[in-house]
């Protein structure tokens, strides 16, 4: 017997503006960054003239961008919209794993855990706010990346809410996702808007969102990008669906 699924309400149904949406850790441009090359298997290309970046359905879609760029809102809305028609997507985010780290392995400003050098540190530098990882922090990131790959290998479709921290993190993704169909989506946002949203949230390291508008994209290459600086969340969702072929 068919099961009727009641569509869920999301932030997009509430008509929130980009500055008011609840973000986790933008018109769109197609293609990869100039001069870049993917070293992981990505989704099958559309025939010339197709709007979608893939013909088939990719196993993994990764939304990468700065904290407060709108990744969590977009990923959640996409998951919920697909769920309403019986299409399951597992949403996994970097914050899901970093949140598991006890405060003893974290440092932010004056709050420094006893073992923070081995975990994760948010530091103010001459180049802006930075995230530093110790050996345990790296292990945690690799576990996060491996969990995405494991879910995809088991046949689940996965959408990832990601902030690529540095080149080591990017290389880790290429290793973990080797052989899988992957679509990388750059979620862009102006530094000013990202920092404004970051301040409004009140629980983020000052300056981190501004810095990550550069660092999160420095080493990554994309199948396409979405800019949420002025774009409404619903518009971003429509664009994501169109480019993925939904």
What positions carry a catalytic annotation? 95
10 Å Cβ neighbour count for 84?
12
**CA angle in degrees (0–180, nearest 5) for 198-203-208:** 45
For 182, the enclosing helix (H) or strand (E) is strand 182-188
Q: Half-sphere exposure of 10 toward its Cβ, with a 13 Å CA cutoff?
A: 21
Beta-sheet strand order (sheet of 128-133): 111-112, 106-108, 120-125, 128-133
And the tokens for 119? 């975990």
3-class DSSP assignment, residue 24: coil
Other beta carbons less than 10 A from residue 53's beta carbon: 24
């Amino acid at each position: 017997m068919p099961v009727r699924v009641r569509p869920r309400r999301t932030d997009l149904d509430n008509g929130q503006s980009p500055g008011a949406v609840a973000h986790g850790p933008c018109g769109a441009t197609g293609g990869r960054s100039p001069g870049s090359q993917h070293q992981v298997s990505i989704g099958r290309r559309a025939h010339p003239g197709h709007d979608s970046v893939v013909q088939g359905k990719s196993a993994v879609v990764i939304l990468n961008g700065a904290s407060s760029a709108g990744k969590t809102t977009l990923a959640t809305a996409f998951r919920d919209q697909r769920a309403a028609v019986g299409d399951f997507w597992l949403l996994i985010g970097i914050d899901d794993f970093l949140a598991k780290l006890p405060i003893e392995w974290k440092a932010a400003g004056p709050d420094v855990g006893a073992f923070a050098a081995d975990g994760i540190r948010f530091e103010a530098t001459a180049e802006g706010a930075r995230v530093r990882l110790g050996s345990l922090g790296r292990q945690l990131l690799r576990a996060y990346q491996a969990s995405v790959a494991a879910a995809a290998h088991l046949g689940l479709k996965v959408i990832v809410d990601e902030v690529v921290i540095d080149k080591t993190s990017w290389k880790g993704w290429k290793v973990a996702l080797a052989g899988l169909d992957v679509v990388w989506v750059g979620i862009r946002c102006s530094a000013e808007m990202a920092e404004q949203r970051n301040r409004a949230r009140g629980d983020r390291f000052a300056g981190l969102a501004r810095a990550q508008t550069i660092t999160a994209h420095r080493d990554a290459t994309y199948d396409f990008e979405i800019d949420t600086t002025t774009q409404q969340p619903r518009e971003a969702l429509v664009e994501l669906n169109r480019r993925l072929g939904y």
